[in-house]
Amino acid sequence: MLAGMLNVLRSFLDRSSPRRVFLVVMAPLFILYLATASRALPYHVDALTNALTAWELGSQGTVYVDESPELTAPGSFGDVAWFVRTPAGHVVSQYPPGAALIAAPLYRLYPSSHVARIAGNNNPDIPGVTVQLPSLVPAAVAAALATAVAIALIALTLLEFVPSRSAVAGAYIAGLGTGAWAVASNALWQHGPAMLWIAFALYLTARRHLLGAGSAFGMAILTRPPLALVAAAVGLTVGLSRRSMKPVLTIGVGSSIGLGALVAYNWVVFGTPSISGGYGGGFTSNALHSSLGWYLQNILGSLVDPARGLLVWAPFLIILIPGLRKGRRAAPAWAKGAAVGGLLYLLLQLKANRFSGGGGFFAYRYPLEALTAAAPLLAYTWRDWVSKTPLRRRLFWGSVVLSIVGQALGAVLY
């Protein structure tokens, strides 16, 4: 009976149009993500910062949260939310506006709020602050939808070189077996929106729509500025493969729109045309001055730490790693460039920040954008190496089950 059901499913998927593949992936994941997303306090300090900004942007048309100056107080900064004072005295998120832009339209439709007292997220012993708090349901919908669409776009990209059933399976591995479920879709982090724009950019690149791909990369930069490395790597590798500067310039022009918007935003809000904005020079200082020993330990921890290690909580990657050379030979330039760009992005992130990414969430979060960028190369590795022997297939699917079980526990418990 089970075999018959599987055959029916395979037949259904093999006859599916790209639109159907998109919906088969996006709709169930969105429902699942929304069911497990955080919609009430306590809400993670990072995501709460984006949600408050999105509410102000959607309901008032401003990024300033001036009615809650307590958010910048020493006891609140970093424990309740990440808001800073601008030179003009406004209260504003230290983050770029990309994640808030995703949820702002929903807050336009549902702008209601209430007075609430928020305790410290990182330090529950602080007194907390009383603020005007919007409903967190629009933020949950935005996070779940952005992440679900990102995974569905990965499916469409994989559809360019594998059958429908494999594209859907690969997308569900990405959607259920990684932190896309337990972290990105759980709250209005920057990760879900950033994954969305990376996935969209790679889909457009695979379809040879390079200006559109560059524009999508620009939105990724407006969400997480170091993702400019992914855009640059894709543009350069495609340009080299075609022995032409046109792809480099085309992707560069599109990306520069987002980069220019970020610089202009920081100029207007913080008074200085910069990329770092509310972070000040801290990110750059850490990246330049952290010691080599600390950096190597940070990289190692990001891979094998029991609580935060990528290979611990996504063990299917262990099975794919030995076949990356084979996958790289088969993959087109854009897929290789995206994977390299994602790796460079992650290495920069780990040079400037501790690998743990703080607390209050399940497993890892910094590798999420890199995993999205590497998804096509990993799919080529599955196709041309893992799938070739029964032993590799069994090991791979066993590790996928472990990954999904772990993420399911994280999505329910956090």
Q: Which of 87, 107, 135 lies at the terminal end of a domain, its last residue?
A: 135
Does residue 118 share a domain with residue 173? no
Residues of the chain with pLDDT under 70: 1-11, 13-15, 122-125, 281-283
Structural domain contains residue 238? yes
Structural domain contains residue 388? yes
Does residue 129 share a domain with residue 214? no
Structural domain contains residue 10? no
Asked whether 47 and 53 are in contact (CB, 8 A), the reply is: no
Tell me the residue range of the domain where 188 lies.
Answer: 140-413
**How many Å apart are CA 96 and CA 227, to the nearest integer?**
12
pLDDT at 414: 80
Structural domain contains residue 9? no
Q: Which of 74, 100, 135 lies at the terminal end of a domain, its last residue?
A: 135
pLDDT at 309: 97
- Split into its structural domains, the chain has a count of 2
Does residue 121 share a domain with residue 147? no
pLDDT at 409: 95
Does residue 119 share a domain with residue 225? no
pLDDT at 203: 98
Q: Return mean pLDDT, the chain.
A: 93
Structural domain contains residue 270? yes
Does residue 124 share a domain with residue 155? no
Does residue 243 share a domain with residue 144? yes
Asked whether 187 and 140 are in contact (CB, 8 A), the reply is: yes
DSSP string for 149-204? HHHHHHHHHHTTTS-HHHHHHHHHHHHHSSHIIIIITTS--SHHHHHHHHHHHHHH
pLDDT at 113: 86
Does residue 197 share a domain with residue 171? yes
CA distances 405 to 185, 284, 401, Å, are 16, 37, 6
Does residue 146 share a domain with residue 131? no
Q: Which of 105, 135, 165 lies at the terminal end of a domain, its last residue?
A: 135
Does residue 182 share a domain with residue 129? no
Does residue 151 share a domain with residue 164? yes
Does residue 334 share a domain with residue 241? yes
pLDDT at 276: 85
Structural domain contains residue 273? yes
pLDDT at 174: 98
Does residue 185 share a domain with residue 201? yes
Would strands 91-93 and 113-118 be described as parallel, antiparallel, or unpaired? unpaired
Structural domain contains residue 262? yes
pTM of the predicted model as reported, rounded to 2 decimal places: 0.94
